[in-house]
Amino acid sequence: MTTVLNVVGARPNFMKIGPVLRALKAKGMAAPLLHTGQHYDAAMNDRIFADLGLPEPDVNLEVGSGSHARQTADVMTRFEPVLDEMKPDAVLVVGDVNSTIACALVAAKKGVRVIHVEAGLRSYDRAMPEEVNRVLTDQISDFLFTTEREAEANLVREGIDPARVFFVGNVMIDSLLFSLDKAVPAAATLGGLAGGYTLVTLHRPSNVDVPGVLGPLVECLIEMAAAAPVIFPCHPRTRARLEAAGLLAGIEAAGIRLLPPQGYLEMLGLMRGARVVVTDSGGLQEETTALGVPCVTVRENTERPITITHGTNTLVGTDPARVMAAFRDVLATGGKAGRIPELWDGHAAERIAAVLAERL
């Protein structure tokens, strides 16, 4: 039996791996799951696994937090003996987290074929650790599965053989469509508020670790809260930065609702009911496009341009004037209608499994 060892490490991976596991098993392949432990909040980890219907990992490396170098090295040294023992036919990695490049590199050096799901996305910003992970993982992968057609052009420009590239669609959207009926209604999470609100997430170091950026962004949120309720599920790290910068009092005074990190089904319900989403997340850009919800992205670039050209996303950077102009435009016009990108139809994982069943 063909064995594909599937690697996850952090929340963005969890949301994409479920459809892949189901599709591989439906094709008669063994699909063990390895969790590196890069995402180390045990309670949130268990909650998201349950929300997504993921099986208990067959292996957990339990690497925990650390610098980029330390975390990547820890994954590599703990992954190698597992790979030696399991002897899979291929290792499948998803996305762009440290676990992705770490496990891909170990597998490639041992002659084990590497499968990269969500290949070819580029922000062209090498200051982003995720961009470095994406570029390097693609270079050493044997099968590169892309979410949009432009990704193949990115890969070919970097010297990758088009015969290794397969346009299959977006497994993140597979998970979203699979889970939509189970989404927790916003009213259940917000004590009766069912819609008409602004949903905010901020977590990128370039936004939350720089007081000169974070402060003006918070001023924008306070201004938004005067026009519509603002719901802000806040990662503990972001909350710590807000507290250190002395910004929490202003947020609370404006009536902004700070929530703890939400489970996948709760977050899905919150997105679905939002009037607009303001975020620096890559995944939310895709999910809002699939849901038809306007999205304002507070980043200078994005590796997901199809959410702008086809979807509901507007990229505004962090300039307060641009952020507020985009927000007011959504309130006035309803925002970009967008359309669902090609092959974002809930069957990407099945296409991946079909290719692997034929070629492994």
CATH number of the domain to which 221 belongs: 3.40.50.2000
Could you tell me if 32 and 142 lie in one domain? Answer: yes
Through-space distance between the first and last CA atoms of the chain, rounded to whole angstroms? 11
Could you tell me if 196 and 307 lie in one domain? Answer: yes
pLDDT higher than 80, residue 116? yes
pLDDT for 359 equals 97
Does 235 participate in catalysis according to the annotation? no
pLDDT for 45 equals 79
pLDDT, mean of residues 17-23: 98
Count of structural domains within the chain: 2
217 part of a folded domain: yes
Could you tell me if 129 and 239 lie in one domain? Answer: no
Instruction: Please state which of the ranges 25-39, 41-55, 243-257 shows the lowest mean pLDDT.
Output: 41-55
pLDDT for 298 equals 98
164 part of a folded domain: yes
pLDDT for 43 equals 67
pLDDT, mean of residues 36-47: 79
Average pLDDT, the chain: 96
Single out the catalytic residue among 203, 235, 310, 347. Answer: 203
- Confidence class for position 356, pLDDT limits 50, 70, 90: very high
Could you tell me if 145 and 218 lie in one domain? Answer: no
pLDDT higher than 90, residue 44? no
pLDDT, mean of residues 317-338: 97
Could you tell me if 162 and 26 lie in one domain? Answer: yes
pLDDT, mean of residues 314-340: 97
280 part of a folded domain: yes
Could you tell me if 117 and 244 lie in one domain? Answer: no
- Identify whether the C-beta of residue 133 lies closer than 8 Å to the C-beta of residue 119: no
Look up the domain containing 195 and give its range: 182-333
pLDDT, mean of residues 58-79: 95
177 part of a folded domain: no
Q: How many CB atoms lie within 10 A of CB 243?
A: 11
CA atoms within 13 A on the CB side of 167: 13
Could you tell me if 114 and 142 lie in one domain? Answer: yes
pLDDT for 46 equals 83
Could you tell me if 17 and 151 lie in one domain? Answer: yes
Residues 173 and 291: their CA atoms lie apart, in Å, by: 10
Could you tell me if 216 and 121 lie in one domain? Answer: no
Helix (H), strand (E), coil (C) string for 137-202: HHHCCCEEEECCHHHHHHHHHCCCCHHHEEECCCHHHHHHHHHHHHCCCHHHHHCCCCCCCEEEEC
pLDDT higher than 90, residue 176? yes
Q: What is this structure's pTM?
A: 0.96
Could you tell me if 210 and 286 lie in one domain? Answer: yes
174 part of a folded domain: no
353 part of a folded domain: yes
The token pair at 359 is 């070629």
pLDDT higher than 80, residue 41? no
- Confidence class for position 65, pLDDT limits 50, 70, 90: confident
pLDDT for 13 equals 93
- Identify whether the C-beta of residue 275 lies closer than 8 Å to the C-beta of residue 231: no
pLDDT tens per residue, range 264-319: 999 999 999 999 999 999 999 999 999 999 999 999 999 999 999 999 999 999 99
Could you tell me if 146 and 189 lie in one domain? Answer: no
Could you tell me if 97 and 20 lie in one domain? Answer: yes
